[in-house]
Structure 1
Amino acid sequence: MLAGVGLAATPGERTADTKAAALAAEATATYTKVSDWGTGFEGKWTVKNTGTTALNGWTINWTYPTGTKVTSAWDADVTNSGTTWTAKDKGWNANLAPGASVSFGFNGSGNGNPAECKLNGGSCDGGIPGDKPPSAPGTPTAGDITETGVKLTWTAATDDKGVKNYDVLRDGSKIATVTGLTYSDTGLKAGTDYAYTVQARDTADQTGPASGVRQVRTTGGGPGEPGDKVKMGYFTNWGVYQRNYHAKNLVTSGTAEKITHINYAFGNVQNGKCTIGDSFADYEKSYTADQSVDGVADTWDQPLRGNFNQLRKLKAKYPHIKILYSFGGWTWSGGFTEAMKNPAAFADSCHKLVEDPRWADVFDGIDLDWEYPNACGLTCDTSGPAVMKDMMQAFRTRFGNNNLVTAAITADGSDGGKIDKADYAGAAQYADWYNVMTYDFFGAWAAQGPTAPHSPLNSYSGIPQQGFNSDAAIQKLKAKGVAPKKLLLGIGFYGRGWTGVTQKEPGGTATGPAPGKYEPGIEDYKELKSRCPSNGTVAGTAYAHCGNQWWSYDTPATVGSKMSYAKKEGLGGSFVWELSGDTANGELITALSNGLK
């Protein structure tokens, strides 16, 4: 209440209120919801000195509805009393010269829509007593809607002192300030829903109420958009060497027509940051015309070559494909523990790398392949169960809702196993989906056997370890509260095998790993289909006994049956590790694609 309005105001109260009014007229506090993932959000307040003298110190008070709260904050001290929240400067950011501004941010739970804001006791809009804020503009209309853009038009707001400009908000977050009555929003995703509102600002920078909401759905979509099954394959940067597998192989095999997403593997995690995994393969290797996706050779001076440029060309040829940059993997997961000591900084480093201007258009998001949070893989992590949720929340906050954020996760469904070690359910709210690694359950690391399929769909009599099968993992994740549509079933495009085996059926003894083209105990499907043809099935996958070798792997028939399982369970789709293991005509990816129709 301003001084003089209350009948019993004392001289001291009048002095304080007059000072508050003066401060309010010289500074503004503007709120932005940076991102919103349904159950939580990232918010930001910006304080601006709109006066002609220095502003010494600032305090913002606002209210949140019951159920909404701040969970962590930076660059301000944030406290609350009930539903009223208070943010004070940190000292080092207290003083603002005329025209200067400062921001602080926070994460929270709930809807994140504030009300009743005050800055240093006065209006957050910097309003002058007696100066009314502007009216609401008309509900915007939408035109020129394409796969990536829309043009918005609205009728003017009114104000007693004049309207200065308009804030355009998409899904509750300000995306632009314009002086006219139109705005063209670009860079959107095809087949996606957006909600737009507009707010007017007067000459004192007061904002009025928001307009009505205009819902817009961009055109297009196709495979990979909401409602469709994900058909994703990992493409490895090292495949360009000994394997001689390149982006063009996705075209010649027919694979590009049948997948919706590619995970490019791998980037490294070092010293708390995401880093390039192999610069030569990633963006330096030069391609000749006959090797290139579009038949055009690289030149020595072009700014981007290598896999990144070939994938760019692939997306131009097949615009339905989305590409994610995957970090970690078995060998490079050791860096996650250090990186997660500062999740926000880790996520920011990855965002800067994925969105590097040289290749930002190539990638549509990030995949995090940590093997394994709060458990052991090649290295062990003891960060605690919450670390998975903390990681996914930090990455969703930094990458926002217009990028994909996914994770490859364990399929250990045993009691007390790796799924039980981390909060995968809590983290799922921030993930678009999980790639459940339903393979490598058994292999020749157990050199003497028993022989067992490395990717069993379900349990069977004699299985060496209970809970080590695809269905056990899926059911455990669902029981913990992970939505089935956020789970992708993993398919290995390779087999695992033993040598020194005399028994045809699983459960036999062995003397060690069978020979493989690239490493012992593992071989691509394209080699095994003729080298050691399948002569039986167990637990939904194939096995083969040839000479003294025993192998297990998926065939087009078993892939088809696994896709039937994925549809029956309501899963979001399937993914493969990794694409170079398929035949030249894409036998396995065809079975996967057909099985998910």
Structure 2
Amino acid sequence: MHVPHLPRVRPVRALLSALCSVALGAGLLAGAGATTATAAPEAPAAGAAAGSKVVGYFTEWGTYDREYHAKNIETSGSGAELTHINYAFGNVTGGKCAMGDAYAATDRAYTAAESVDGVADTWDQPLRGNFNQLLKLKKKHPGLKILWSFGGWTWSGGFAEAARNPVAFARSCHDLVENSKWADVFDGIDIDWEYPNACGPSCDTSGRDAFPELMSALRAEFGPDYLVTAAITADATPGGKIDAADYAGAAQYVDWYNPMTYDFFGAWDATGPTAPHSPLNSYSGIPKAGYHTSATIAKLKGLGIPSSKLLLGIGFYGRGWTGVTQSTPGGTATGPAKGTYENGIEDYKVLKSTCPATGTVAGTAYAKCGSDWWSYDTPQTIATKMTYKNQQGLGGTFFWELSGDTADGELIKAID
């Protein structure tokens, strides 16, 4: 994924915000970095303080029903706010990294109106699709870095086979990421393994080593000039998913972790109780102790993972129930609330007008409208989470995912 990293000069407003972060404590991270010679940290962007990473996931399938393209990143103003984009997802199959949707990634022809720079694709150009549009976005924002994320909820099944020969897996990933057709697009790789050794007591305990061995192989293959990151579980309960893999042992090989501090609660528990899916901290009546962001961060830091290698996760969407009569959290329900693409989940850009927030709890928002009950983050609750991020000295913020934000980038601007 790479050309030499260029310094990123961020907007004055973002720079001032970053300096505020230093004052609040993010500056305590200065000097924190990789713990081994093979895990060299990314050089900070010009004008950026420690703790200022803003990483957004951009979905490959957004080109279809969501009609969300790289141009939307630019027109929303998000391109000027982002430091990194995670392109989701590549597949993991046959022990190797593999293309997800080749048509969306490299073949789809963009019209002038759809293109980042207003120039239409031609039939004979060697690269089209999302990859070419992301290249155009990088030209507008020379410091922007893009990582190819592999796995995710649907495609994590292949990691077990990949872990049997991590060196071969890492080589396949490098060969794919740096394919000559798109060698200038990517600046690193992001691994989203959901979840290493999470098969319960029947697992061989030696399986805890699979994750650090995989990440070690990736670092060795990609070298110090590429970014190597991973999205990891937020389950900090005793014996939970954090305990099932050696995330602390792998920390020396990654530039940072993205703990997925959302989806703690949702309408997979169809009758409730209703609960915010991304609470910052605990509250009276929380359905499961330890299911909140601050518990996740405390657990990972307690394992010895540097604060600078932990990013705060935010969801740009809500989770909700229907058949609810109680306005505050803890009510019963009859099932998931109706969503645009999937019941029980809805983008922030929709919820902000269809079911505006009616209250806050545990550093996040909730809303009761009719018999529906939703929880989601707003610009105001994101500001609260940014204060927490700075106080904890975390390396920055990441979010899932860009298309959930408003057309003018309301949530990402609250992060910055």
Say whether the 8 Å CA contact 1:500–1:510 is kept in structure 2: yes
* Residues 502-548 of structure 1 deviation map (CA, whole Å, 9 limit, x = unaligned): 00000000000000000010000000001000000010000001100
In 1: Cα distance, 2:371 partner to 2:44 partner: 53
Question: 2:274 matched to which residue of 1?
Answer: 451
Higher relative contact order (CA closer than 8 Å, sequence separation 6+): 2
Give 3-state SS (helix, strand or coil) of 2:207's partner. Answer: coil
Moved runs in structure 1, 4+ residues, more than 2 A? 186-192, 218-224, 380-383
Distance 1:404 1:331 in 2: 23
Partner of 2:13: none
Whole-Å Cα distance in 2 between the matches of residues 221 and 360 of structure 1?
A: 22
Identity %: 67
Task: Give 1:491's match in structure 2, choosing from 314, 333, 352.
Answer: 314
- After superposition, residues 269-288 of structure 1 pair within 5 angstroms as 269-288=92-111
Which of residues 230, 235, 242 in structure 2 aligns to 1:412? 235
Name the Cα RMSD after superposition: 1.9
Asked if structure 1 preserves the Cα contact closer than 8 Å seen for 2:87 and 2:148, the reply is yes
Determine the structure 1 residue equivalent to 2:394.
571
Partner residue of 2:172? 349
Name 2:134's counterpart in structure 1: 311
CA distance in 2, matches of 1:482, 1:278: 34
Q: Is the 8 A contact 2:6 2:142 kept in 1?
A: no
Secondary structure of the equivalent of 2:218? helix
Retained in 2: the 8 A contact 1:375–1:381? no
Q: How far off is 1:220 after superposition?
A: 9.4
**Among 77, 81, 84, the residue aligned to 1:261:** 84
2:28 is the counterpart of 1:189: no
Partners of 2:142 and 2:258 in 1: CA distance? 23
- Residue 387 of structure 1: how far off its partner (Å): 1.1
Query: How far apart are the structure 2 equivalents of 1:228 and 1:540?
Result: 20
Matches within 5 A, 1:192-271: 221-222=45-46, 227=50, 229-271=52-94
| Richer in helix (by share) | 2
**Alignment deviations for residues 47-82 of structure 1 (CA, whole Å, 9 cap, x no partner):** xxxxxxxxxxxxxxxxxxxxxxxxxxxxxxxxxxxx
| Alignment partner, residue 353 of structure 2 | 530
Q: Residues of 2 paired with 1:219 and 1:365: CA distance?
A: 14
Residue deviations 1:536-568 (CA, integer Å, cap 9, x gap): 001000000110000000000001110110010
User: In 2, Cα distance between the equivalents of 1:538 and 1:249?
Assistant: 32
Query: 2-side partners of 1:464 and 1:220: how far apart?
Result: 40
Q: Quick one: which amino acid aligns to residue 432 of structure 1?
A: D
Structure 1 residues not aligned, in runs of 5+: 1-185, 193-217
Would you say the 8 A contact 1:373–1:381 is kept in 2?
no
Do 2:7 and 2:142's aligned partners in 1 also have CA atoms closer than 8 Å? no
Aligned 8 A contact 1:337 1:381 in 2? no
Specify the SS of the correspondent of 1:233.
strand
Structure 1 position 388, deviation (Å): 1.2
Mapped to 1, the partners of 2:6 and 2:130 lie a distance apart of 25
1:190, distance to aligned residue in structure 2 (A): 3.6
**Rounded Cα–Cα distance in structure 2 between residues aligned with 1:499 and 1:232:** 32
Residue type at the aligned position of 2:215: M
What residue ranges of structure 2 are gaps of 5+ in the alignment? Answer: 9-41
Q: Which residue in the other structure is 1:513 paired with?
A: 336
1:219 positional shift: 11
1:303 offset after TM fit, Å? Answer: 0.4
Paired with 1:274 and 1:572, the residues of 2 have a C-alpha distance of: 27
Q: 2:288 aligns with which of 461, 465, 472?
A: 465
Contact 1:373–1:383 under 8 Å retained in 2: no
Cα deviation, residue 382, structure 1: 7.5
Change in 2 beyond 3 A, CA 1:293/1:190: closer
1:70-98: CA deviations, max 9, x gaps?
xxxxxxxxxxxxxxxxxxxxxxxxxxxxx
Q: Could you list the per-position Cα deviations for residues 103-126 of structure 1 after superposition, in whole angstroms to 9, with x for gaps in the alignment?
A: xxxxxxxxxxxxxxxxxxxxxxxx
**Aligned partners of 2:50 and 2:352: how far apart in 1?**
34
TM-score when normalising by structure 2: 0.89
TM-score, normalising length from structure 1?
A: 0.62
* Alignment CA distance shift 1:190-1:358 (3 Å): same
1:63-212 to 2 correspondences below 5 Å: 188-190=4-6
Q: How far has the Cα of 1:246 moved from its partner?
A: 0.3
Shift of residue 483, structure 1, vs aligned partner: 0.1
Report the Cα offset of residue 188 of structure 1.
3.8
Larger Rg belongs to: 1
Secondary structure at the counterpart of residue 242 of structure 2: helix
C-alpha distance in structure 1 between counterparts of 2:47 and 2:381, whole Å: 23
Question: Which protein has the bigger strand share?
Answer: 1
Q: Distance in 2 between matches of 1:434 and 1:220?
A: 17
1:368-387 equivalent positions in 2, closer than 5 A = 368-376=191-199, 384-387=207-210
CA–CA separation in structure 2 for the residues paired with 1:363 and 1:381:
35
Q: Structure 1, residues 426-483: CA drift from partner, whole Å, max 9, x if none?
A: 1000000001100000000000000000000001111111111000000000000000
